[in-house]
């Protein structure tokens, strides 16, 4: 009687000799002693049933799985402190301008959306202030008006615009700190 094929309980691979599976390395059992093969969730489908004892010659041995299908897919590596940006976005509730303006719970902020408009209004106000200063200087004297028009008003307007821009950037930075802190809290809440 020829040797009974040994069946791998892990991948259902059959082979005539050797104590360990050539495919996955699991200890083999004789066909008469073999339990039904355990099929991993990530592998190829196993044959319907192992061949009955004594009829091993009538059935060909099971075919080895294709290369690469007997192993699980690689898991992504965990990097501490890194969260993909698309994975932990805070839920955004889009509200209209007036809904945010009259939001008495202050859940949504209006300042980040109107900061550009505020800066434009500020630049126009500084320009009007410089124009009024030039007109006032010309009412004092012509020489003082020319000095204000060519030197004092441009330098003063530049410094005021620079200060206004710095203050508006500080406000935006505070809002960005709030958004980033909220995203980090959501990420920590999902992990723990």
Mean pLDDT, contiguous 10-residue spans, the chain (192 residues): 67 73 70 52 55 55 58 59 53 71 82 92 97 96 96 97 96 93 91 78
Q: Shortest CA distance to 157 belongs to which of 133, 178, 173? A: 133
Residue 40 domain-assigned (yes or no): yes
Full domain range(s) for residue 144: 97-191
Are 24 and 8 a contacting pair, CB within 8 Å? yes
**Measured over all CA atoms, what is the biggest interatomic distance in the chain, rounded to whole angstroms?**
125
pTM higher than 0.85? no
Asked if 185 and 128 touch (Cβ cutoff 8 Å), the reply is no
pLDDT value at position 27?
A: 72
Q: Looking up tokens 């294709």, which residue turns up?
A: 66
CA distance 191 to 56: 52
pLDDT of residue 174: 94
Q: Number of structural domains, the chain?
A: 2
pLDDT given for residue 136 in this prediction = 96
Rg (CA), the chain: 39
Do 54 and 117 belong together in one domain?
Answer: no
Q: Note whether residue 163 is domain-resident.
A: yes
- In terms of Cβ atoms closer than 10 Å to its own Cβ (0-12, 13-18, 19+), residue 130 is buried
């Amino acid at each position: 009687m020829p040797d009974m094929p040994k069946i791998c309980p892990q991948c259902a691979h059959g082979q005539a000799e050797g104590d360990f599976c050539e495919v996955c390395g699991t200890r083999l059992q004789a066909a008469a002693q073999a339990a039904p093969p355990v099929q991993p969730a990530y592998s190829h489908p196993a044959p319907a049933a192992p061949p009955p004892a004594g009829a091993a010659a009538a059935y060909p041995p099971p075919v080895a799985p294709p290369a690469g299908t007997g192993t699980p897919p690689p898991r992504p590596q965990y990097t501490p402190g890194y969260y993909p940006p698309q994975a932990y976005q805070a839920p955004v509730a889009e509200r209209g301008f007036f809904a945010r303006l009259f939001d008495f719970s202050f859940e949504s902020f209006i300042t980040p959306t109107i900061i550009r408009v505020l800066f434009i209004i500020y630049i126009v106000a500084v320009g009007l202030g410089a124009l009024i200063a030039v007109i006032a200087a010309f009412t004092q004297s012509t020489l003082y008006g020319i000095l204000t028009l060519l030197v004092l008003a441009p330098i003063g307007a530049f410094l005021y615009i620079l200060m206004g821009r710095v203050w508006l950037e500080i406000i935006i930075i505070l809002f960005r700190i709030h958004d980033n802190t909220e995203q980090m809290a959501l990420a920590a809440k999902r992990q723990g």
